[in-house]
Copies of this chain bind each other. A is one copy, B any other.
Amino acid sequence: MSSSVRAVTFELDASSVGGMRCEVAVRMLEPFDESVVVVSDELPVLGGDGSAPSPLALFTGALAACLMTQIRMFSKRLGTPVDAVRITGRTEWRSIARAGEPYEAEPVGFTLDVMLDSEASVEDQQRLIEAAKRGCFIEQTLARPNAIAHRLWVGDGWEEV
């Protein structure tokens, strides 16, 4: 069976020069050309200025938006017409602090509840959600363990961390 593979690659360049505000220049390298700046900050209670969403708020928005986008894209391809779409849900983590050490972070759970304004049968709507889950880049990333490679600049070269 024929299949086609398409790479989707972004590069990022993030800067922080004080406080908790972070500006990330994000550029899609393939297959298209998107250049945006994503900004985050923390609440004053965490030492920030509250000038932008926190990284976890951005993540939560991106997760819901990714599934939403996939539902809209696949609605046409599967011939399951959909008008308005609403997704509600939760993202949950916890931090665990042992005496004298910085806390460690842990995911707890993620839920996404979908309401489709559609004349299609429940079976067709379920098929659409199933396809959207498989096509959602963020959901598929969360579904499996991913290694993140880190390097630290040590003045005359990079070292793995």
Provide the A113-130 mask, 1 if CB < 8 A to any CB of B, else 0: 111100000100110011
| Contact (Cβ within 8 A) B20 A99 | no
Contact pick for A20, options B59, B69, B87, B126, CB 8 Å: B69
Asked if A69 and B42 make an inter-chain contact with CB atoms under 8 angstroms apart, the answer reads yes
Q: Are A152 and B65 in contact (CB under 8 A)?
A: no
Please tell me the number of chain A residues within 8 Å of chain B, measured between CB atoms: 120
How many Å lie between the Cα of A60 and that of B44 in the bound state? 24
Which residues on A are within 8 Å of B, measured CB to CB?
Answer: 1-17, 20, 22, 24, 26, 28, 32, 34, 36-40, 42-43, 45-47, 50, 53-66, 68-69, 71-74, 77-78, 83-99, 102-116, 122, 125-126, 129-131, 133-154, 158-159, 161
**28 A–B contacts, CB within 8 A, in A order:** A5-B96, A7-B108, A10-B56, A14-B65, A17-B83, A26-B53, A34-B53, A40-B68, A55-B62, A55-B63, A56-B62, A58-B58, A58-B62, A58-B65, A74-B102, A95-B135, A104-B135, A104-B140, A105-B139, A112-B149, A113-B152, A114-B152, A122-B152, A125-B152, A129-B152, A141-B142, A142-B142, A142-B146
